Structure 1
Amino acid sequence: MVTNFLQSDNWERFQQGIGKKTFRLNNQLLIKNQLPFSKSWFYCPWGKGELGKLDELVQLARKENAIFFHLDPFNKFSILILEESTDFRFSIAKTIQPQKTLILDIDQPRDKLLAEMKEKTRYNIRLAEKKNLIIKQQTASDDFWRLMTQTSQRDCFSAHSRNYYQRMVEIMPEIELWTVFVRDKAVASAIFLFDRDNKIGYYLHGASDYSERQLMAPYLLQWQGISIAQKMGLKKWDFWGIDEDRYPGVTRFKLGFGGQIIERPPAQRLIFQPLWYRVYSLTHN
């Protein structure tokens, strides 16, 4: 069984659906990212480190003109497996997926989940429940994209393209897009992923209308995602990244629900073309 959704067949199909070329090396997913001058780099998201013979990776890199290979380890054992399986020298890098996240145990009664939240979070959920808000599942990302455009500008982060979110909803059956409305106006929207195989749900992307913040719609929406996951029999809920320095507001919002902070190991990179890698490093901080 695949240990996480980033190594799943559906995630591979999604990557292909947005124009990426993919490979499997010892059943580990590699995603090719195109660069100028016909260069590229390989990405292995949440890999287990079981890459088999790295000579095959080197040959593939030569064929695809890849400058480097980037592994976001799934856990510390991924690093141990990698170190034991090769004499190649890897360098440490920043992870692409969130290195620090918050995971909530949802295999418990709803009353207990509410009781273990911070008082302000619990209050905001109950307040939102009194606001006559309507929550709908959607298949089109129009409302989500409008809210994401606002949110990314407000919080100073780079969002994916509109096509990225839409193709994710279209291609991956484990993805669900939910939006909160007040008087037919979308005020908060989120993309959840429900991994039934590994019994865990993810809050992947979220956006909201700041002008309607008094409605506390994001709290109600998050509670909706957790409730769906519980009904599916999932055991954990991953808030998908926290960072007190870069995103203090979002991090406070997530921490209010409780849970355990998890930190994964740093990324590992294998460089194939040192000169071009230095050029890449100068333009990609």
Structure 2
Amino acid sequence: MQVHREAAAHDRAFARAGRELTSARIATTGEDAAWDDLVQATGRAHILQTKGWAHAKALTGWRAERYVLGGGGVAQVLIRPLRFGLVFAYCPRGPLATGPLADAIAALRVALARYCCVALLCDPEVPDSADLLRAVGHAGARLAPVYVQPRRTLLLNAQIDPDLLLAAMRKKTRQYIRKAERAGVMTEETDDLARFHRLLRVVGERDRFAVHSLEYLERLREGLGDRLHVLMARIGSEDVGALMLARMGERAWELYGGWSGTHAEERPFYLLKWRAIQRMRALGVERYDMWGLSDPPRSGEALPRGQVLDLVASRLGLRARGTVDPLAGVTEFKLGFGGDVVTWMGALEVPVRRLLYPLWQLAGRRRLARSAA
């Protein structure tokens, strides 16, 4: 009982502090209508914070709430019902804080406390910094034992001159791109999601990972519109590679894709990725995000049972089979294109209702984290 009283007192003090530091209020009708513009205005825009992404996630049981934070920050929070009237909250690649991240997390925790919300999971793109981790710790956040989005990624400057981009690649990568061109591999952009989905299912069945439904991809296109791009590679009439990308502002992200496993000698996926980079460059994209690399554990930290590796592999449709690290091959493939390896802090978990938090720890934390991907 003493522990419970102390936790309740901490929550009341935290709520007062949150109101003093900053605020998080539900977006007005007008703000909701212009949500993606607000996301862009933060200077930290991410496709997972757009209305279009939430539109697709609604198909899998997630409801979006959009918050405007003090100082111009924003946060799209996905809410998932649990049993007994409880809910879980996930803020993908957010909050997009324009001030201290700890203040934004504190404000969201206060706002979500009006529900029977057991916990908030968030994974903002912030540096992997011990000082920052201590700061968000004062807001009740700590590193989560689960991951939804990858902690490490590869960012490539797509606006560099193409010849310089090629020169910065590994020699083998350049050779394979040229080999695919000589072999007659054709690439094209398409609106045919069924065609894309057919190839993705082939990859999923081969490498044994779950693939989103065609309906989910259609909802993603409904939500993102012309910001969603699908590129295919083929040899003759046979589709051998597929890649889906989304863009927002000066950044683009690889979402889903894969290689059919046929015509390995022609190296079709190397050319497809190169053509995707060129296409995004033509659309004004500067930062091309390859979405995820192998994530070695922090010092003294055990690898989280392959969680991040499995999730990223399923997102990309690629897997290095028979290795300890299932993303080893994928990582080597990506690194061949050059660019900068970036490491974010990772997922943060925030108890919202401390008395209910043990239920979250025991009843589905990992399952729900997977469903949020």
TM-score in terms of structure 1 length: 0.86
- Work out which of the residue numbers 251, 258, 266 in structure 1 matches 2:346: 266
1:57 aligns with 2:112: yes
Amino acid at match of 2:358: L
Give the AA of the match of 1:214: E
Partner deviation per Cα, 1:175-221 (whole Å, 9 max, x = no partner): 111111222211100101122x2x11222211111122222111111
| 1:13 paired to 2:55 | yes
- Name the aligned partner's letter for residue 221 of structure 1: L
Letter in 1 for 2:288: W
SS of the residue 2:230 aligns to: strand
Q: Tell me which of 56, 68, 90 is aligned to 2:141.
A: 90
Matches within 5 A, 1:30-45: 30-36=77-83, 39-45=86-92
Q: For the Cα contact (< 8 Å) 1:11–1:172, is it kept in 2?
A: yes
Is 1:255 equivalent to 2:335 in the alignment? yes
Show the 5 A alignment for 1:1-285: 1-2=41-42, 3=44, 4-16=46-58, 19-25=61-67, 26=69, 27-36=74-83, 39-47=86-94, 48=96, 49=101, 50-51=104-105, 52=107, 54-59=109-114, 61-62=115-116, 66-76=117-127, 88-93=139-144, 94-173=146-225, 174-195=227-248, 197=249, 199-243=250-294, 245-271=325-351, 272=353, 273-281=356-364, 284=367
Aligned-partner residue type, residue 336 of structure 2: G
- Distance change (3 Å), C-alpha of 1:18 and 1:278: closer
Residue number in structure 1 paired with 2:26? none
Shift, 1:153, TM fit: 3.6
Question: Contact 1:169/1:177 (CA < 8 Å) preserved in 2?
Answer: no
Q: Structure 1: which amino acid aligns with 2:110?
A: D
Shift of 1:28: 0.7
Matched letter for residue 240 of structure 1: W
Write the letter of the residue equivalent to 1:183.
Answer: G
1:52-79 deviation line (CA, Å, top 9, x unaligned): 36322111x32xxx33210112213999
Is 251-260 or 50-59 further displaced after alignment? 50-59
Q: Return the offset for 1:88.
A: 4.3
Which consecutive residues of structure 2, in runs of 5 or more, have no partner in the other structure?
Answer: 1-40, 296-324
Bigger radius of gyration, 1 or 2?
A: 2
Q: Which has the higher helix share?
A: 2
CA contact (8 A) 1:144 1:207 kept: no
User: How far apart, CA to CA, are the structure 1 residues paired with 2:222 and 2:161?
Assistant: 33
1:34 and 1:130 mapped to 2: Cα distance?
A: 53
For the residue of structure 2 that corresponds to 1:187, the secondary structure is strand
> 1:266 Cα shift?
2.2
Q: Provide Cα deviations, 1:135-179, integer angstroms capped at 9, x if missing partner.
A: 222223223222222323433443333322232233212111111
Q: Measure the CA separation in 2 of the matches of 1:203 and 1:275.
A: 36
Would the aligned equivalents of 1:14 and 1:172 in 2 still touch at CA under 8 Å? Answer: no
The DSSP-based 3-state class of the residue aligned with 1:42 is strand
Residue 283 of structure 1 and its aligned partner are, at CA, apart by 6.3
Distance in structure 2 (CA, Å) of the matches to 1:234 and 1:282: 36
Distance, in Å, in 2 between the alignment partners of 1:77 and 1:101 is 13
- Amino acid across the alignment from 1:165: L
C-alpha deviation, 1:46, in angstroms: 1.2
1:275 is displaced (CA, Å) by 3.2
CA offsets 1:221-245 (integer angstroms, 9 cap, x no match): 1111110111122212111001172
| CA–CA separation in structure 2 for the residues paired with 1:19 and 1:165 | 15
* CA–CA separation in structure 2 for the residues paired with 1:123 and 1:246: 25
